[in-house]
């Protein structure tokens, strides 16, 4: 699940301020940040809660945003993905009950590619449904962090400290499968990089293997990334099948679009290993293939960068996961003198106070760095793509 720019900005502010709080930075230069009387003079807070500082008030606002944003986006992702899966199943059933058109090699390939795309999007919908169900509880758990910033847990309200630890536990459990998907996504980007390189070699060399049956959904999307089928988007599970068989008509249009693209790449004379008699058609076909190769070459930088980025996310989030885990461990094993061996090892031999503080700071720091990476990524990818485009243009000019 990709966070929005606003989510990343709020995350950066939230965790950067948490790092400031961890180290009590600017306590001398900006003492008002740590002065609870300033907050109390404005809001007239009851006892215990009146210890809330202006810095904690600001942090709590960002935590409340995370609570609402994650809970809403997680539930929305699951809801829309469930509807998407229902629609794809309906399309596949209609596909099976309708005879496929196209006896040519290109016609068969276009039908196969669309079918593979439907299956791919169905798997994506199932995964996103699960991911949404993991993200939503993380958002809900942020409510207790929001309350903790106001010292509500110290007052014993809404479950007190036990509820806060339970909320942290829920966040940790839900983060585990998300860490796994970061590994999956990282390897997938590297796999796409290798697939793209192989596709470039086959298409550029003009080998006999570059025929319609060479293409699958992965290779087609690599060569034609602008193709976005209508069934890729989410849908409400409450939506029934549209009237007048509109969905099947849209699916037929998508198949026709794929077929038209394949006809650009594979003319009948080219498939028969003959020279194109029509010079105009030959030129169009050559330009279409050159554009596809150019697009694939430009994508190589982005694929490797995104692959490394996913593993960077994995490292950052694993450190955060491990760091925040210290709060849970030290809560259930409060006595430093009587702890299981594995607890001592997980704390690297440190006492509870230091393990809790350092773990919390490590989590805050990693979740400060992560939004920096998220915000910088589009600019870095754009810069890399421009450099590759310029280098490719210069190489083409020298060749000519």
What pLDDT sits at residue 305? 95
Residue ranges of domains in the chain: 5-238+246-399
**In the numeric block, which tokens belong to residue 31?**
């003492």
Which long-range contacts does 71-76 make (Cβ < 8 Å, 24+ apart)? Answer: 71/136, 71/139, 71/140, 71/142, 72/139, 73/1, 73/7, 73/132, 73/135, 73/139, 74/1, 74/131, 74/132, 74/133, 74/134, 74/135, 74/136, 74/137, 74/138, 74/139, 75/132, 75/136, 76/132
pLDDT at 136 over 80: yes
Give the pLDDT of residue 205.
82
Q: What percent of the chain has pLDDT over 90?
A: 74
Give residue 397's pLDDT.
Answer: 62
Distance (Å) of CA 5 to CA 319, 374, 376: 23, 8, 10
Range with the lowest mean pLDDT among 100-114, 150-164, 328-342, 374-388?
100-114
Question: Within 10 A of 286 (CB to CB), how many other CB atoms are there?
Answer: 11
Question: What mean pLDDT value characterizes the chain?
Answer: 91
- Model pLDDT, residue 56: 97
**Calpha distance 196→297 (Å, rounded):** 8
Q: b/e map of 243-280 (b: 16 or more CB within 10 Å)? A: eeeebbeebbebbeebbebbbbbbbeebeeeeebeeee
Q: Which segment of 34-48, 53-67, 170-184 scores lowest on mean pLDDT?
A: 34-48
pLDDT band at 195 (very low <50, low <70, confident <90, very high): very high
Residue 388 has pLDDT above 90, yes or no: no
pLDDT (tens digit per residue) in 227-278:
999 999 999 999 888 877 889 999 999 999 999 999 989 876 554 555 555 6
pLDDT in tens, 200-220: 999 988 767 888 999 999 999
Among 147-161, 276-290, 384-398, the minimum mean pLDDT is found in 384-398
pLDDT at residue 395, as a whole number: 61
Q: What pLDDT sits at residue 390?
A: 72
374 pLDDT above the threshold of 70: yes
pLDDT at 135 over 80: yes
**Could you tell me which residue, 272 or 98, shows the higher pLDDT?**
98
pLDDT band at 365 (very low <50, low <70, confident <90, very high): very high
Does pTM surpass 0.75?
A: yes
Q: Which of 60-74, 86-100, 120-134, 221-235 has the weakest average pLDDT? A: 86-100
What is the structure's pLDDT at 392?
67
Question: What tens digit of pLDDT does each residue of 174-191 get?
Answer: 999 999 999 999 999 999
Q: How many other CB atoms are there within 10 angstroms of residue 334's CB atom? A: 10
- Using CB atoms within 10 A of its CB, is residue 216 exposed (0-12), middle (13-18) or buried (19+)? middle
pLDDT, tens digit, for every residue of 304-332?
Answer: 999 999 999 999 999 999 999 999 999 99
Q: What is the pLDDT of residue 279?
A: 76
Indicate if the pLDDT at residue 391 is higher than 80: no
The residue ranking higher by pLDDT, 98 or 189, is: 189
399: confidence class by pLDDT, cuts 50, 70, 90: low
* Of 76, 219, 224, 75, the residue nearest 136 (C-alpha): 75
């Amino acid at each position: 699940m990709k966070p929005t720019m606003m989510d990343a900005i709020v995350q950066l502010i939230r965790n950067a301020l948490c790092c400031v709080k961890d180290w009590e930075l600017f306590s001398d230069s900006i003492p008002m940040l740590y002065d609870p009387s300033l907050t109390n003079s404005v809001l007239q807070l009851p006892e215990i809660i009146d210890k809330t500082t202006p810095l904690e008030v600001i942090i709590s606002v960002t935590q409340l945003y995370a609570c609402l944003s994650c809970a809403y986006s997680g539930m929305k992702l699951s809801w829309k993905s469930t509807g998407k899966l229902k629609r794809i199943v309906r399309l596949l059933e209609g596909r099976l009950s309708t005879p496929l058109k196209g006896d040519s090699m290109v016609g068969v390939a276009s039908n196969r590619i669309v079918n593979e795309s439907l299956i791919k999007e169905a798997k994506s919908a199932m995964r996103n449904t699960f991911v949404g169900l993991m993200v939503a509880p993380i958002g809900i758990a942020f409510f207790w962090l929001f309350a903790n910033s106001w010292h509500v847990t110290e007052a014993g309200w809404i479950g007190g400290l036990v509820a806060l630890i339970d909320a942290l536990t829920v966040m940790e459990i839900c983060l585990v499968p998300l860490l796994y998907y970061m590994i999956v996504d990282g390897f997938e980007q590297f796999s796409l990089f290798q697939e793209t390189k192989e596709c470039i070699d086959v298409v550029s060399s003009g080998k006999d293997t570059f025929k319609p049956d060479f293409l699958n959904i992965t290779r087609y999307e690599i060569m034609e990334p602008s193709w976005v089928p209508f069934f890729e988007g989410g849908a409400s599970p409450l939506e029934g099948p549209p009237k007048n068989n509109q969905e099947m008509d849209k699916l037929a249009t998508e198949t026709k679009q794929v077929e038209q693209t394949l006809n650009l790449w594979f003319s009948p004379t080219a498939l028969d290993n003959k020279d194109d008699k029509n010079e105009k058609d030959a030129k169009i076909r050559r330009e279409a293939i050159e554009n596809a190769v150019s697009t694939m070459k430009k994508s190589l930088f982005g694929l490797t960068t995104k692959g490394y980025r996913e593993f960077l996310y994995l490292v950052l989030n694993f450190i955060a996961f491990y760091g925040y885990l210290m709060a849970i461990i030290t809560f259930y094993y409060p006595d430093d003198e009587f702890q299981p061996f594995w607890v001592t090892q997980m704390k690297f031999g440190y006492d509870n106070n230091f393990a809790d503080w350092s773990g919390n700071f490590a989590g805050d720091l990693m979740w400060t760095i992560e939004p920096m990476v998220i915000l910088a990524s589009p600019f870095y990818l754009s810069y890399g793509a421009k450099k590759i485009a310029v280098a490719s243009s210069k190489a083409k000019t020298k060749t000519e």
